[in-house]
Structure 1
Amino acid sequence: MTVWDRPEPPIRPVPLDRERIVAAAIALADEGGLGAVSLRKVAARLNAGPMRLYGYISTKEELFDLMVDEAQAEILPDEQPGDWREALRVLAHRTRRTALRHEWLADLLGGRPTLGPNGLAVTEATLAALDGLADVDTVMRAVETVSAYFTGAIRREIANLRAERATGLSKRDWQRASGPHVTRMLATGRFPALAKAVYDGTDVDAETSFATGLDWVLDAVAAKLKSGDAGSAVD
């Protein structure tokens, strides 16, 4: 039985329910990451005894599932765009913005899907965007491909933000500090492709990079859907 199927215990003198528990856990995670979340700390924030929480949540993993489902409510758009590319683009960008508000979400993206109402609604919206454009296996591979891209891109962006905070160096500060070493290494001539990228490439911000990569992935999906080659999509 999942946490969503299990009934909550009766209300006791200190008001407590899963909604309050999850809100407290998210606040802790927003402040200090997933490492700051424990049933004991959540209980303390709610002025309740730790054992009280076990009537609502059995494990920390269940708590994480509930937190992810709550965050996924922020991903769902108010209206589903009619165009499949725009629908997937909106979902990807909303996922990124939600992860930037709740950085801990990046650590939980890409695992087993949560089975809460918001998680199921996000999955439904994603699959519905491509419904009828190809057979179900092709649709599933397309969704997996787009999801793999934006999950990886979001995790990389969050990792860079965490590195900036940990070192106290912005991206430009880090580039200046590491510049002499990189210049010496490139001067050896052993890394010509890297040298071209460093000296000739255009530096873009994270949002532009995310949007460009997403468009390329959507172009590839569009080409696969147009070809109707479901067998290749599955291979």
Structure 2
Amino acid sequence: MKAVVLACLLAVCGAVASAQECRPVEHRDRDFTVCTAQVDQHVIETRLADASGAPLGSFDALQTSTDRPILFAMNAGMYHPDRAPVGLYIEGGVQSTGLVTREGPGNFGLLPNGVFCVEADRAQVVESRTFADNPRPCISATQSGPMLVIGGQLHPRFLPDSTSRKFRNGVGVSPGSDTVYFVISDEPVTFHEMATLYRDVLGVSDALFLDGSVSRLHAPVMGRSDGGFPMGPILSVTAREAG
């Protein structure tokens, strides 16, 4: 199974992804789901609240808040108990919370952390202090941490023999900044396992961890919509209108 999946990823899955968006992937004997978006074909946006300002909190509320079919969605960066974003958050070109560059507790503060930024014609994952020195014109952005892959290198704190496994999700962008890979583990995995999937299988040089035990995916094409406690920021992918 592994050989077939890897061959598909490296050879023909680009064509499949545009129609299917999400697909199962096995890596190092661990099961993941990889969802792919093309910047020129899809609208990739952060979403937090409905028209009244109340946090959406669920995929059902997300779909109700838009008249476009959601192709897939997943929880975005980390959030506080009131579901306000931790670190930089931009939605619709409007920044509501600021960038955090200091070291701190938990996964978010395990530097280097980073920002997933969607611009008009490209997407990027940028290390936070690099972003602070050279801000991008993001239409949507979410900050989280730690970085999984930085310039083709794994985060220096990741251990190949780690036994700390949790459900995790992340986001990475192709070297050409036009393809975005959203990954969620379908079983508990280590940071090292997820990071090597991005680097060695998907060929991504910069990838960002989004969150852990609260990780959730909405993928109608797979008949999947994970439930659970109310979420904070959400990353939503819809089809871009022609013209």
Q: TM-score, normalised by structure 2?
A: 0.22
Which structure's CA Rg is the greater one?
1
More strand by share: 2
Task: Pick 1 or 2: higher relative contact order, CA cutoff 8 A, min separation 6.
Answer: 2
TM-score scaled by length of structure 1: 0.22
